Amino acid sequence: MSKYLVKRILLAVLSVLVICVITFFAMNAVPGGPFNSEKALSEATKAALEKRYNLDKPLTTQFFLYMGNMLRGDFGVSLKTGRDIRGTIMECFAVSARIGGLAALFALIIGVVCGAIAALFRNKWPDRLIIFLTTLFTAMPSFVFATFLLMIFCIQLKLLPVWNASNESLILPVIALAAYPTAYITRLTKTSMLDALGQDYIRTARSKGVPTIKVIFKHALRNALIPVITYIGPMLAYILTGSLVVENIFTIGGLGQQFVKSITNRDYPMIMATTIFLAVIMVIMNLLSDILYKVVDPRIKLD
């Protein structure tokens, strides 16, 4: 176990490093420095500014300086607003994390329940209905689904208000974000539940006279949940990237909207910081879900 842990953590650290390198050097490959603005600066001012922000040093030195600052929690300032990037990211992430967390919870609960139902009613109408819906949702990009939700519930039916600062109706963004993961988890749970129901220990439990409810919940569902754990990491990654689109459609001031805004503004320090921040979160989530998977299922061989 400890060998696996060390290996897995090393891989995660390496991935984070690769992401930082890619992001930093990619952003620096963009032609035009931060001081090539509309107002032409005198050579002296430019040199002074570059010295102030260490831009006169070689790129590798700049990279290590940036990394050092980042580890101390200093991402620099936004080119557009001049505000401290860390503050902006934390502020926006709080909003995104709330919606994303709710979406993840929604997807897990609904997905597992629907998957279990589909497996228990195999080839009957509940199964067919659930599989039809999941097939549809896995083929629908999140922006299509989110815009349709907005169109139907906010504009046509006027049932729910459009999101704004004073009126935080989280239902639609959460559903829009959760649609794809829910469909995926449903399929995953159905397959693993069918697999679990065919196992010998289920037959043993049944022949012992264990009540059906107990067989389903204690023996089948518990084992069927193991593959779902592996999906938690990718799901959170999906929800984070999905938030780029969903937050824009529902005009929620989260990290996703901030990221897209910084792209359209060409606010490079902001893009760099947000990318690294999101990527680190995704890598950590993947790491945690992988470790959790090994902890939960002792049958899995560690190599």
Report which DSSP code applies to 161.
P
Angle, alpha carbons 142-143-145 (nearest 5°): 65
CB 159 within 8 A of CB 172: no
Quote the distance between the C-alpha of residue 157 and its chain's center.
Answer: 30
CB of 136 to other proteins, least distance (A): 7
Binding footprint of other proteins on the chain (CB under 8 A): 11-12, 14-15, 18-19, 22-23, 26-27, 29-32, 135-136, 138-141, 143-144, 147-148, 150-151, 155-156, 237, 240-241, 244-245, 248-249, 259-260, 263-264, 266, 271, 275, 278-279, 282-283, 286
CB of 15 to other proteins, least distance (A): 4
CA–CA dist 198, 206 (Å, integer): 12
Angle, alpha carbons 31-257-178 (nearest 5°): 130
CA–CA dist 262, 47 (Å, integer): 26
Identify the CA nearest to 248 among candidates 101, 99, 140, 115.
99
CB 75 within 8 A of CB 88: no
Of 8 and 46, the one with the shorter C-beta distance to other proteins is 8
CB of 39 to other proteins, least distance (A): 21
CB of 147 to other proteins, least distance (A): 6
Of 205 and 276, the one with the shorter C-beta distance to other proteins is 276
Q: How far is CA 55 from CA 25, 27, 67, 264, 282, in A?
A: 13, 13, 14, 24, 30
Of 169 and 265, the one with the shorter C-beta distance to other proteins is 265
CB of 217 to other proteins, least distance (A): 30
Of 44 and 155, the one with the shorter C-beta distance to other proteins is 155
CA–CA dist 278, 262 (Å, integer): 14
CB of 232 to other proteins, least distance (A): 15
Of 108 and 287, the one with the shorter C-beta distance to other proteins is 287
Q: Is the dihedral of CA 171, 174, 179, 185 positive or negative?
A: negative
CA–CA dist 91, 103 (Å, integer): 19
CB of 112 to other proteins, least distance (A): 22
CB of 141 to other proteins, least distance (A): 6
Q: Is the dihedral of CA 261, 266, 272, 275 positive or negative?
A: positive
Of 52 and 158, the one with the shorter C-beta distance to other proteins is 158
- Give the tokens for residue 86: 């860390």
Of 260 and 291, the one with the shorter C-beta distance to other proteins is 260
CA–CA dist 100, 94 (Å, integer): 10
